[in-house]
Structure 1
Amino acid sequence: MELPALHLIPNKKLDKIIQFAFGTEDLRFSVGTTLVAEIDNQVAGFAFGYSNEMEERINDVWEQAVSKVDLPEKTALFTDTETFPNEWYLDSIAVSPIFRGKGVGTKLLHSLSERALKSNKSCIGLSVDLQNPLAEKLYSRIGYKKVGTTTISGHKYHHMQLEI
């Protein structure tokens, strides 16, 4: 994601913010879902998402995390709405470089349907950078369809959805 704050926050402080946010019960168990793919006892990849009505609570957790490090009070990671109504939103997905090309991302994407249905959602949404056609091609191959274009922190993304 092209978030302006990420260019201003030193890596050590960003690591602390991430550790705090994912260390909270809210982010891990209440409002969000983290899926982890492991290969040979190593983290091969992860996916994180939530139902659209949880976006504000997710952002609150991140704001609390930012407040735990020495940054200007008004430092905001997320300033725009990312989700569309009535969807389970794939916020983040990443595959470790050593496991890329082994189907980890595809397996994670296929496992999202169960999470969405548990949240009473029949649609999974995501934002893909217009500058990342390979990711968009992967999502399209799995069945995601472009349903709009959105701007997040001044950067353009295609919003894609998969009906389940």
Structure 2
Amino acid sequence: MRPATPEDAAIVVRLMYTAIGDIAHTLSGTRDKAEALRVLESFFRQARNRVSHEHVWVHEADGRVIGFLSAYHGSQIPDLDRPFIERLRAIGGDPSGVIPEAREDEYYLDSLAVDADYQGGGIGTLLLDAFERKADALGHPKIMLLVDQENTKARRLYERRGYREDGSLLLSGHVFDRMIKNGPWG
């Protein structure tokens, strides 16, 4: 596992799209998948926004990136969302869909995905372990992630790992359950 670099943009953003789906369209202000990917890749290469490489760790195998996680503290959200809100306003889009996904006291797992060819091999668990270790190393006593209510398999994994539901959130037309866990991470 290593920190992402701007050069990882194309592969990570494609994986990210599999994790966030319609949220990518809300953030980019377009329903066109190719354009949404282009916009997110541009933001990934930049600093100080929610999809920036600064918040991403990648997992490699066979000489290529096959998984990633993106995480940041909830207190950073206003600053990290500002570039998306400003872009949406500049293109005449609606920024009202860009809402805080975590609370100010939570270390937030924004997204995590594994290449389809490598799913089922424990890489998602390794990434989740890395997220929890990072929260511990940074001294964050509370972590949070969202799970689509339709994704029962992921929800069961999170519950087995000690996450518990803490409300729900409507994002880009989908209902997500907030799943929280309190340290220590062990």
Give the structure-2-normalised TM-score: 0.74
Deviations along 1:97-152, whole A, 9 cap, x unmatched? 00000101000000112322344311110111111101101111222111222223
1:111 pairs with 116, 124, 130, which one? 130
Corresponding residue SS for 1:138: helix
Pick which of 137-146 and 46-55 moved more: 137-146
| Residue pair 1:149, 1:159 contacting (<8 A) in 2 also | yes
Name the one with the larger helix percent: 2
- What is the identity percentage for the equivalent residue pairs of Structure 1 and Structure 2? 25
2:142 pairs with 123, 129, 144, which one? 123
Q: What corresponds to 2:36 in structure 1? A: 14
Superposed counterparts of 1:16-55, under 5 Å? 16-26=38-48, 27-29=52-54, 33-55=55-77
Deviations along 1:18-72, whole A, 9 cap, x unmatched? 111110122333xxx21111112121111101100111122123345668xxx84
Structure 1 position 78, deviation (Å): 4.0
Structure 1 position 157, deviation (Å): 1.4
Structure 2 unaligned regions, length at least 5: 1-19
RMSD: 2.4
Superposed counterparts of 1:1-164, under 5 Å? 1=20, 2-3=22-23, 5=26, 8-26=30-48, 27-29=52-54, 33-63=55-85, 72-76=91-95, 78-164=97-183
| Residue pair 1:86, 1:123 contacting (<8 A) in 2 also | yes
Shift >4 Å, 4+ stretches: 64-67
Q: What is the number of equivalent residue pairs in this alignment?
A: 158
CA–CA separation in structure 1 for the residues paired with 2:87 and 2:93:
13
| Residue pair 1:129, 1:156 contacting (<8 A) in 2 also | yes
Structure 1 position 77, deviation (Å): 8.0
CA–CA separation in structure 2 for the residues paired with 1:7 and 1:90:
23
Structure of higher RCO (CA pairs closer than 8 Å, 6+ residues apart): 1
Pick which of 137-146 and 124-133 moved more: 137-146
Deviations along 1:59-95, whole A, 9 cap, x unmatched? 123345668xxx8422438432210231100111111
CA–CA separation in structure 1 for the residues paired with 2:96 and 2:40:
11
**Is the alpha carbon distance of 1:126 and 1:20 closer, same or farther for their aligned partners in structure 2, counting shifts above 3 Å?**
same
